[in-house]
Chain A
Amino acid sequence: MTDRSVSIAQADLASGDRVPRLQLRNICKSFGGVRALKNVDFEVYGGEVVGLVGDNGAGKSTLIKTMSGAYVPDEGEVLVDGDPVTISSPQDSTRLGIETVYQDLALCDNLDVVANLWLGREAHRVLIPGVLRVLDETEMERQTIEVLKTLDVKIPSVRSPVASLSGGQRQCIAVAKTILRQPKVVLLDEPTAALGVAQTHQVLNLIRRLRERGLAVVVISHNLHDVFEVTDRIIVMRLGQRIASFETRKTSSEQVVAAITGATVKVNEDV
């Protein structure tokens, strides 16, 4: 009985001369005549939460989909821990340790929390070698409880069906599901959309927990309040270009809004 899926990579949080966990350089992507991404650079470090903001059609989703392998960029390079890689399918990105939590959650409502967390990679117990192996429910349940505890996710019971959980709890389960695969980078697409105040709080807490574990986290959100509450850096996209980055602590929301809308306010270029 190992702790293999619980031991989440603990990276050193020391900043400075670090190599980004995930880096995109000079990414271009066109759909027919529309240039969705124009020479975009992007980087996220371990133990850092980056907020990716921008108006609808600014290219946020295209950029995230480039990272998750749903789109292949026309130009540019992708580096994981400084090494150039090619991501041409979602499987590639999963293999490289990049996990995406989509808006529609991808949970099975009829299954309980344990079953959802382990879906597709269930633990087994061999009854007759080579012939019959059954689900190892005990081991899966034990590790589920452990993972949820390390992430400080609170749910009534790991055996309750996901349908009976609140939106925030479901979002947390969706994130915890990716954590079981020990990713390096977690991409969250609108993690707080359609959540209540308490639930949003719970999800933001979870994001902080991921940062403490040394993961690189990218959050796409329209909700600047949430972005300001949880991120270290904010990257603003507009019309397919990265037009500004801010250090969250030293920035006001007016500056970010101005960058998003393209209003002419002094932009404090940081990175």
Chain B
Amino acid sequence: MKSLDNDAHPSSEEQAIAPQLGAEGSPSQAPTTVRFNLRSFMRGDLGFIPVILTLALITIYFQVTTSGVFLQARNLSNLTQQIVVISILSVAAVLVLLLGEIDLSLAAVAQACAAIMAVVSVYQNWNPWLAILLGLVAGAVIGLINGFFVAVLRVPSFIVTLAGSIGYAGFLLLVMGRQTTLIVRDDTIRSLAPTFLAPWLGWVIPFLLVGLYGLGVWYERKRRSQAGLPLRSSLQTAIQLGCVLAITVIVVYLFQSYQGVPQAVLISLGLVVIFWLLLRKTTFGRHLYAVGGNAEAARRAGINVVGMKLTVFVMASTLAALAGIMLTSRSTAVATQVSSTLLLNAIAAAVIGGVSLFGGRGSVWAVVLGALVIGSLDNGLDLLNQDQSIKSMVQGGVLLLAVTADALVRRSGLRTGR
């Protein structure tokens, strides 16, 4: 009973700590505006600053060394189409990573599901949409298998999906039969990725989305001020909306000045937006972050942790199937060889964008930035006619650098405690 020693002077202690407690400040009283704070700004909506700086450096370097080719509309259009598959696969990776799990079978699943679609389309002459649907359903079933082992039987996801990636690659060989590559001839499937939107549609859709976003921000602000909650300064909100609008205008303008907005890019960005809304605005998303942060706390709060994990694995594999279908559409063929870099690039894109490997931290927007970093390096080094050996080494180095920078920023954030 060591505490008994303190019995003699409890009141003096009490007095000494009283001022300290008062200094911590109350949550909030009146509808005041929140003062601008750089650190909370960085950790909040725009915690991506280090990655954006990295991306800017890469861009400047290639812009200079390729004497202006890199930032030409044609090259940017190519670049964004090159990263569509990585982006979709990376959204899948983000979902699983947020849960605190990992899915190493994504690339194999993508390829296997694409093969299923290709086989029924080529040999059975299925309706292309039915073939695509079958590919997606196959992805969902595979996700259910992965999820069953991880969530219900509680086998570590690393092992389950590693075994899965080998198994599904074998399944891919089985589906393809003697073929090593199967060329898809169906026009619908072939036109999924390389199509460009009509110019008017290319302007209308992005601006409709930005308009909805602005409306949402304005409505939220109105509700907060009605409820008497602290608001962000209107300047900050204006800058936020202005940035979104400016980026949209520049990107759409660049696309339009070449061949138009690529349908594939719109699909992948649409997926990012949908999953961003799902994760930030719905109960499902909130619970996903909770399970990734502290599964036990989530369980005690009445969240069905097993169900969440199953759902996420099904979502991830279905997205992987979609990525495989887009890949097939772009290359017009399915190969029996699973790309060795695809999976790691997808996970790397998520991690470069700031998604924690330990679960519960990160945003699905990480995908866009991470995929842009990886895609820019690949594209820029190609423009410079560099060998694959150099490309691999540079990519590895940048991944390591980005993760290290991220870890350092995060650690300093934790140390200061705010």
Binding site for B on A (CB under 8 A): 1, 104-111, 115, 119-122, 124, 133-135, 137-139, 141-142, 144-145, 148-149, 154-158, 160, 163-164, 197-198, 201-202, 222-226, 228-229, 253, 257, 260
Contact B418 A156 (CB under 8 A): yes
Choice from B4, B13, B21, B228 contacting A142 with Cβ under 8 Å: B228
Given contacts A110-B361, A155-B27, A257-B4, contact A135 B281 (CB under 8 A): yes
* Interface residue stretch chosen among B60-68, B203-211, B293-301: B293-301
* Chain A residues positioned under 8 Å from B13 (CB to CB): 197, 201
CB distance from A92 to the nearest CB of B (A): 14
**Contact yes or no, A111 B290, CB < 8 A:** yes
Q: Could you pull out 17 A-B pairs where Cβ atoms are within 8 angstroms?
A: A104-B296, A106-B301, A108-B294, A110-B289, A111-B286, A119-B286, A119-B303, A122-B286, A142-B229, A154-B26, A157-B28, A164-B414, A164-B418, A201-B13, A201-B14, A201-B21, A224-B1
Residues of A within 8 A of B260 (CB): none
| B418 adjacent to A225 (CB under 8 Å) | no
Q: Does B227 contact A (CB under 8 A)?
A: yes
Chain B positions 1 through 29: 1 when the CB is less than 8 Å from some CB of chain A, otherwise 0: 10110110010011001001110111110
Complex interface bits, B369-383 against A, C-beta within 8 A gives 1, otherwise 0: 000000000000000
Contacts of B301 in A (CB 8 A): 106, 119-121
- Tally of chain B residues near chain A (CB < 8 A): 45
Query: Chain B binding site: helix, strand, loop or mixed by DSSP?
Result: helix
User: How near does chain B come to A236, taking the closest CB pair, in angstroms?
Assistant: 13
Q: Which residues of B contact A137 (CB under 8 A)?
A: 220
**Contact for B27 among A108, A122, A149, CB less than 8 A:** A149
Whether the Cβ atoms of A135 and B21 lie closer than 8 Å is no
Chain B residues in 8 Å Cβ range of A135: 281-283, 286
A115 touches B3 (CB 8 A): no
Contacts of A197 in B (CB 8 A): 13, 17
Sort A-B residue pairs by CB-CB distance and give the 10 closest, nearest first: A120-B301, A108-B293, A110-B293, A110-B360, A120-B302, A106-B297, A119-B301, A198-B17, A225-B3, A134-B281
Contacts of B24 in A (CB 8 A): 154-156
Residues in B256-299 with C-beta less than 8 Å from chain A: 281-283, 286-287, 289-290, 292-294, 296-298
Contact B360 A141 (CB under 8 A): no
Bits for B403-418, please: 1 = Cβ < 8 Å to A, else 0.
Answer: 0000000000010011
**Complex Cα gap A115–B414 (Å):** 19
CA distance A98 to B320 in the complex (A): 45
Cβ contact within 8 Å between A138 and B290 = no
Check B1 against A156 for contact (C-beta < 8 Å): no
Q: A119-B298, A135-B281 are in contact. List 19 more A-B contacts (CB 8 A).
A: A1-B227, A105-B297, A109-B294, A110-B292, A111-B290, A111-B293, A111-B360, A119-B303, A121-B302, A135-B282, A135-B286, A141-B229, A148-B27, A149-B26, A157-B27, A198-B21, A202-B21, A224-B1, A224-B4
Asked whether any CB of chain A lies closer than 8 Å to the CB of B185, the reply is: no
Contact of B223 with A by CB under 8 A: yes
In-complex Cβ contact of B224 among A122, A138, A224 (8 A): A138
Q: Quick one: which of B301, B303, B361 has the most chain A CB within 10 A?
A: B301
Q: A1–B228 Cα gap in the complex (Å)?
A: 13
Give the residues in chain A near B4, CB-CB below 8 Å.
Answer: 224-225, 253, 257
B361 → A minimal CB distance (Å): 5
Does A107 contact B297, Cβ atoms closer than 8 Å?
yes
Contacts of B6 in A (CB 8 A): 225
Q: A145-B27, A149-B27, A197-B13 are in contact. Are A119 and B7 (CB under 8 A)?
A: no
Within 8 A of A (CB), among B226-256: 227-229
Known: A201-B17, A224-B3. A124 touches B283 (CB 8 A): yes
Q: Which residue of B lies closest to A174 (CB)?
A: B297
- What is the bound-complex CA distance between A133 and B228, given in angstroms? 23
Distance in angstroms from A159 CB to nearest chain B CB is 9
Evaluate contact between A160 and B418: CB separation under 8 angstroms: yes
Chain A residues contacting B14 (CB-CB under 8 Å) are: 201
- Chain A neighbourhood of B224, CB < 8 A: 138, 141
- Pairwise interchain contact A109-B293, C-beta atoms closer than 8 A: yes
Q: Which residues of B contact A253 (CB under 8 A)?
A: 4, 7
Q: Give the residue of A105, A156, A224, A225 whose beta carbon is less than 8 angstroms from that of B25.
A: A156
CA distance A1 to B226 in the complex (A): 12
Q: Are B297 and A122 in contact (CB under 8 A)?
A: no
Closest-CB distance, A257 to chain B (whole angstroms): 6
Residues of the B chain whose Cβ atoms lie less than 8 Å from the Cβ of A141:
224, 227, 229
Return the CB mask of B346-368 against A: 1 if under 8 Å, else 0: 00000000000000110000000
CA A132 – CA B43 in complex, angstroms?
Answer: 29
**Interchain CA distance A194-B326 in the complex, whole Å:** 54
Question: Which residues from chain B contact A115 at a C-beta distance below 8 Å?
Answer: 286, 289-290
Question: How far apart sit A246 and B131, CA to CA, in the bound complex (Å)?
Answer: 76
Q: Which residue of chain A has its CB nearest to the CB of B43?
A: A161
- Which of these, A106, A139, A164, contacts B417 with CB under 8 Å? A164
Given A198-B21, A253-B4, residue A107 in contact with residue B294 (CB < 8 A): yes
Q: How far is the CA of A223 from the CA of B292 in the complex (A)?
A: 34
Check if A106 sits within 8 Å of B360, measured CB to CB. no
Known: A110-B289, A142-B227, A164-B417. A257 touches B1 (CB 8 A): yes
